[in-house]
């Protein structure tokens, strides 16, 4: 069926180092989904953390994407330059009466009183919700109240997903005490303003989707379609991360052609039946989301990556 609305996808890398295979896989899937339907791709540098990110890394990221054959149609402003835009949306939440200052210290937040979830995160118990006397001389973080309501959506890869923000997250920080806006707010505003209709990214961000859906609703943006792609696991079962220098693109670019790399990744993910070189463009011709399973992808020890 022809999409009535044009698909707008995005790459949203954090320029804090070289891409590893997991980042490449998520970027490849975002690209395939959009290009196989003649949509548009937006690139955005997520550099809110100015200590860890740099323009040099951003330049290398662009070059790596080009080397892979993953092109984009426009690049939007990096997050580090958009705090005035975020201020406007923050003011909107404030006008709705949904924000309150939170003075909790890190140790208070991690204390035994806060209910911890199985994934190691904690539920904010609302300590500062109705604070009568704020402590003097400390700058607060700002939280948005979340309703006791279940958010449901159908993920193109993971299937049906539901989360109640009140019981599994608690009121969310939108601006930190040092004035920096948090990822959830920035991403919602940036995707919304860029007209993004489809968010493809790693499975580790699945529980962020309902947080962003809540903010989309408050700030007046449509919900995009979500596809959270599986994590890639090394042969010993550990998750690939930026620390695995041997699998970052700096090393892989010297050892492999882009077609060999994409072919091996596509084969490991079950997108093609044989481990053989293929370009992203060729792969787009036969891409459908049904081909991708939701569970983690093992890169086996004999694969071309080692």
Footprint of ligand GLU on 39-68 (CB under 6 A) = 46
Q: Which of 205/233 has CB closer to ligand GLU?
A: 205
Footprint of ligand GLU on 108-167 (CB under 6 A) = none
Q: How many residues can be counted in the chain?
A: 306
Q: Considering only 9-17, 80-88, 137-145, 261-269, which stretch makes contact with ligand GLU by CB under 6 A?
A: 9-17
Query: Min. distance of Cβ 207 from ligand GLU in angstroms?
Result: 12
In the 8-state DSSP scheme, what is residue 238? Answer: P
For tokens 């080397």, the residue is 67
Footprint of ligand GLU on 174-203 (CB under 6 A) = 187, 201
For tokens 């997050």, the residue is 79
Q: Considering only 12-20, 101-109, 127-135, 242-250, which stretch makes contact with ligand GLU by CB under 6 A?
A: 12-20
Residue among 13, 22, 192, 230 that touches ligand GLU (CB under 6 A)? 13
- The three-point CA angle 44-50-52 to 5° equals 95
Number of H helices, E strands in the chain: 10, 12
Q: What number of chain residues touch ligand GLU (CB under 6 A)?
A: 7
- Kindly write down the DSSP assignment for every residue of 4-56, as one continuous string: SS--EEEE----SS--BHHHHHHHHHHHHHHHTTT-EEEE------TTT--HH
Q: Which of 13/170 has CB closer to ligand GLU?
A: 13
Q: Which of 171/190 has CB closer to ligand GLU?
A: 190
Residue among 14, 33, 127, 158 that touches ligand GLU (CB under 6 A)? 14
Residue among 109, 123, 205, 218 that touches ligand GLU (CB under 6 A)? 205
Q: Which of 102/187 has CB closer to ligand GLU?
A: 187
In the 8-state DSSP scheme, what is residue 106? Answer: H
In order of 92, 143, 147, 211, the CA distances from 170 in angstroms are: 20, 9, 9, 10
In order of 78, 115, 147, 154, 239, the CA distances from 169 in angstroms are: 27, 10, 11, 20, 24
Q: Considering only 6-14, 140-148, 245-253, 297-305, which stretch makes contact with ligand GLU by CB under 6 A?
A: 6-14
Determine, following the binding rule CB under 6 A, whether residue 12 of this chain makes contact with ligand GLU: yes
CB 85 within 8 A of CB 189: yes
Q: Which of 27/271 has CB closer to ligand GLU?
A: 27
Determine, following the binding rule CB under 6 A, whether residue 228 of this chain makes contact with ligand GLU: no
Phi, psi of 96, deg, nearest 5: -75, -5
Query: Min. distance of Cβ 31 from ligand GLU in angstroms?
Result: 13
Check the CA dihedral 238-239-244-246 and report its sign.
positive
CB 15 within 8 A of CB 47: yes
Q: Summarize the chain as % helix, strand, coil (round to 5).
A: 35, 20, 45
Q: Which of 232/278 has CB closer to ligand GLU?
A: 232
Q: Which of 14/264 has CB closer to ligand GLU?
A: 14
Determine, following the binding rule CB under 6 A, whether residue 15 of this chain makes contact with ligand GLU: no
Contact residues: ligand GLU, CB under 6 A: 12-14, 46, 187, 201, 205
């Amino acid at each position: 069926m022809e999409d009535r609305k044009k698909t707008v996808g995005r790459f949203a890398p954090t320029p804090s180092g070289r891409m590893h295979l997991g980042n490449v896989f998520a970027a490849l899937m975002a690209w395939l989904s959009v290009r196989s339907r003649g949509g548009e791709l937006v690139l955005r540098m997520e550099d809110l953390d100015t200590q860890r990110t740099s323009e040099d890394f951003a330049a290398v990221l662009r070059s790596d994407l080009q080397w892979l054959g993953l092109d984009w149609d426009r690049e939007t402003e990096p997050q580090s330059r958009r705090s005035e835009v975020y201020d406007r949306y923050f003011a909107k939440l404030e006008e709705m009466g949904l924000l309150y200052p939170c003075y909790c210290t890190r140790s208070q937040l991690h204390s035994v009183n806060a209910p911890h979830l199985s994934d190691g995160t904690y539920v904010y118990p609302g300590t500062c919700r109705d604070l009568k006397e704020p402590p003097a001389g400390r700058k607060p973080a700002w939280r948005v109240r979340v309703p006791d309501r279940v958010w449901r959506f159908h993920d193109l890869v993971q299937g049906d997903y539901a989360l109640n923000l009140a019981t599994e997250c608690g009121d969310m920080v939108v601006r930190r005490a040092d004035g920096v806006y948090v990822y959830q707010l920035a991403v919602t505003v940036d995707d919304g303003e860029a007209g993004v209709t489809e968010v493809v990214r790693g499975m580790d961000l699945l529980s962020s989707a309902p947080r962003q859906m809540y903010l989309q609703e408050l700030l007046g943006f449509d919900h995009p379609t979500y596809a959270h792609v599986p994590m890639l696991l090394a042969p010993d079962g550990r998750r690939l991360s930026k620390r695995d220098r041997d699998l970052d693109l700096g090393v892989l670019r010297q050892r492999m052609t882009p077609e060999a790399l994409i072919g091996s990744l596509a084969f490991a993910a079950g997108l093609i039946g044989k481990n053989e070189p293929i370009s992203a463009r060729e792969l787009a011709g036969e891409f459908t989301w049904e081909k991708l399973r939701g569970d983690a992808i093992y890169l086996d020890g004999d694969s071309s990556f080692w």
